[in-house]
């Protein structure tokens, strides 16, 4: 095979193509010698045709991928839950008038999705699709997909092969840039029972109609004084204006925020860096907790000991709320690899504990080891600590106590 690099494509010619060109050159040389000695004009005409053919073929070789472009952007990402359907789209733009006919488009994908209606080679996860590209315009290839399992899929080893326009040898174009489109498959939402246990009324900064707590820095008006009112609540300016005692009215506030601590570490003592065998369940239960918090309009934050490069060494999603925050949560969980590197859970909760300020409702998803109990006991003096008790029948929210150790078999 002979390789030639272009702007977006690397051209690869069949080895037979070189032999074919050499054969034509030898034939032309032989005809030229005969024509010189025989002085037959028609032989010169044949040589001229061969020369024109070779020049045209070489010109085609030089320009065949120069004007072919593949639309490539990060904005084209696809996000799915398992079992959902969508389609991936490849959009080609050919600025030349010459089309690419009877070709085969090929690429490789991960096992997290299936291409509907197209056979996939299981060993390499390679997909081949018959495909022609029109001249002077855009050509779009759409392939229906189904999300199979949690994870992220990138499309790699993109190539396009087609018969040469002038000699019908196979030409293969390899796409050189990184293809940015990703297919992100979210974890399943596995229900967690007992979420009503998480209802804790604490002083905070979220506005509400009913709460025993008030934000004294946010007065919203005044009302007539009542005997049960504190003397410090009297608004003297309003009293002087109305000639009647007036009491400040403040915003009612409450703290409805969750802190999800996710432990992906195995409880195996001889291999603390091993991923938990319940990893998929842990991620699915966490996804459901995020769904619940979003549905109820609560703020939440996530710490997870999926090792990351950087200062923190673990995954962290800052506190937020609403659908955009929920989407970020699902994507964070989807990006956890099956055999990910683990950051020690006890190290993570020690670092998280140094950041905890206001009272929080903390939910731990995953195993709790004996060495973690001391830190959690210190937390429980200021925060409400819950954990997900995972069984074969599902997961249940329980209030943590010092006796809780790990996963229920």
pLDDT at position 89 is: 94
> SS3 of 384, please?
strand
Structure tokens at 118: 């197209």
Whether the CB-CB separation of 131 and 104 falls below 8 Å is answered with yes
pLDDT at position 1 is: 42
Residue 312 burial by CB count (10 A; 0-12/13-18/19+): exposed, middle or buried?
Answer: middle
The third-level CATH classification (topology) of the domain covering 192-198+256-399 is: Rossmann fold (3.40.50)
Nearest Cα neighbor of 106 from 129, 87, 122 is 129
Q: What separation in angstroms does the CA of 302 have from each of 104, 215, 260, 314, 370?
A: 45, 27, 5, 11, 22
pLDDT at position 260 is: 96
User: CA 271 to CA 274: how far, in whole Å?
Assistant: 6
Structure tokens at 40: 């037959």
User: Could you say which of 2.60.120.380, 3.20.20.140, 2.60.40.10, 3.80.30.20 is the CATH number of the domain covering 68-186?
Assistant: 2.60.40.10
User: CA 77 to CA 154: how far, in whole Å?
Assistant: 10
> SS3 of 189, please?
coil
Give Cβ neighbours of residue 304 (< 8 Å, ≥ 6 apart).
261, 262, 264, 286, 314, 315, 316, 332, 336
Structure tokens at 128: 């081949």
Residue 120 burial by CB count (10 A; 0-12/13-18/19+): exposed, middle or buried?
Answer: middle
Count of C-beta atoms within a 10 Å radius of residue 311: 5
> SS3 of 275, please?
strand
pLDDT at position 148 is: 93
pLDDT at position 129 is: 93
pLDDT at position 193 is: 92
Nearest Cα neighbor of 306 from 277, 272, 326, 332 is 332
Residue 81 Cα to chain centre, angstroms: 12
Stretches in the chain below the pLDDT threshold 50: 1-6, 201-204, 206-213, 253, 270, 405-409
pLDDT at position 203 is: 44
pLDDT at position 265 is: 87
pLDDT at position 250 is: 62
CA angle 274, 277, 282 (to 5 degrees): 105
DSSP state of 300: E
């Amino acid at each position: 095979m002979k390789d030639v690099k272009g702007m977006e494509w690397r051209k690869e010619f069949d080895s037979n193509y070189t032999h074919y060109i050499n054969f034509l050159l030898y034939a032309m040389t032989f005809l030229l010698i005969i024509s010189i000695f025989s002085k037959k004009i028609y032989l010169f005409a044949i040589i001229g045709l061969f020369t024109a053919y070779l020049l045209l073929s070489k010109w085609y070789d030089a320009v065949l991928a120069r004007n072919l472009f593949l639309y490539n952007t990060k904005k084209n990402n696809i996000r799915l839950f398992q079992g959902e359907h969508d389609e991936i789209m490849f959009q080609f733009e050919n600025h030349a008038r010459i089309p690419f006919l009877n070709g085969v488009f090929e690429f490789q994908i991960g096992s997290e999705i299936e291409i509907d209606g197209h056979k996939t080679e299981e060993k390499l996860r390679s997909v081949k699709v018959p495909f022609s590209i029109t001249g002077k315009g855009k050509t779009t290839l759409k392939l229906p997909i189904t999300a199979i399992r949690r994870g992220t899929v990138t499309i790699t080893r993109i190539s396009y092969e087609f018969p040469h326009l002038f000699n019908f040898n196979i030409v293969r174009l390899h796409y050189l840039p990184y293809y940015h489109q990703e297919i992100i498959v979210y974890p399943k939402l596995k229900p967690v029972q007992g979420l009503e246990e998480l209802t804790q009324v604490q002083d905070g900064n979220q506005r509400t109609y009913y709460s025993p707590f008030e934000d004294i820095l946010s007065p919203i008006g005044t009302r007539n004084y009542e005997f049960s009112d504190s003397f410090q609540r009297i608004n003297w300016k309003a009293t002087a204006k109305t000639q009647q005692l007036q009491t400040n009215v403040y915003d009612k506030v409450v703290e409805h925020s969750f802190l999800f601590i996710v432990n992906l570490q195995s409880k195996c003592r001889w291999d603390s860096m091993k991923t938990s065998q319940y990893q998929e369940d842990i991620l699915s239960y966490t996804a459901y907790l995020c769904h619940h918090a979003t549905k109820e309009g609560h703020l939440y934050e996530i710490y997870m000991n999926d090792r990351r490069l950087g200062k923190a060494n673990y995954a962290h999603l800052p506190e937020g709320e609403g659908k955009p925050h929920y989407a970020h949560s699902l994507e964070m969980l989807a990006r956890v690899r099956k055999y990910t590197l683990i950051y020690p859970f006890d190290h993570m909760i020690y670092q998280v504990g140094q950041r905890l300020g206001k009272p929080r409702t903390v939910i731990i998803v995953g195993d709790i080891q004996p060495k973690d109990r001391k830190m959690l006991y210190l937390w429980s003096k200021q925060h409400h600590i819950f954990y997900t008790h995972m069984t074969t029948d599902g997961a249940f929210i329980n209030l943590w106590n010092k006796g809780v150790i790990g996963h229920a078999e």
